[in-house]
Amino acid sequence: MSDAAEADRRPLDELFAVLGDPTRRAVLEQLVHDGPQTATELAGHFPSTRQAVVKHLRVLADAGLVVPERSGREVHYRATTARLADAVTWLIGASEGWDRRLDRLRSRR
C-alpha cells in the first residue's frame, strides 16, 4: 500500500479503534439516545467510575464523536455523529464488494 493510501486510511483506522471499545460505544449510544449529559450522569449508567467515563469521553472527543460544552462548572458532552459517516461510507463500499463477489459465486452454479 502506498504512503498516500495509508495516510488516507489512518483517520478511519483510528475511528474504528475508538469504536472498538464496548464501553465507548455504549457511552456514545447513551449520548445519541438521551442527549447531552455530564460525566457524572453518564457514570450512573455504567459500572465504571466517573474518572473512567471521563477518560472514555476524552478519547471520543479526540475522535470527533463527542463535543464537550461547558455550562458554568459543569461540562455536558454531546454526541456528534458526522464522523460516523466516514465509517458508514467505508462499510457500504465493503458491503458492495462482497455483494458482487457473492453474485459471481451464485452465477457459477
Q: Taking 90 as the threshold, does the pLDDT of residue 86 lie above it? A: no
Length of the chain: 109
Q: What percent of the chain has pLDDT over 70?
A: 89
What is the per-residue pLDDT across 30-47, written as a single tens digit (0 to 9) for each?
999 999 999 999 999 999
Q: Where are the alpha helices (DSSP H) in 1-109?
A: 3-19, 22-34, 39-43, 50-62, 84-107
9 or 30, which is more confident?
30
Q: Taking 60 as the threshold, does the pLDDT of residue 49 lie above it? A: yes
Could you tell me which CATH number the domain at 3-81 has? 1.10.10.10
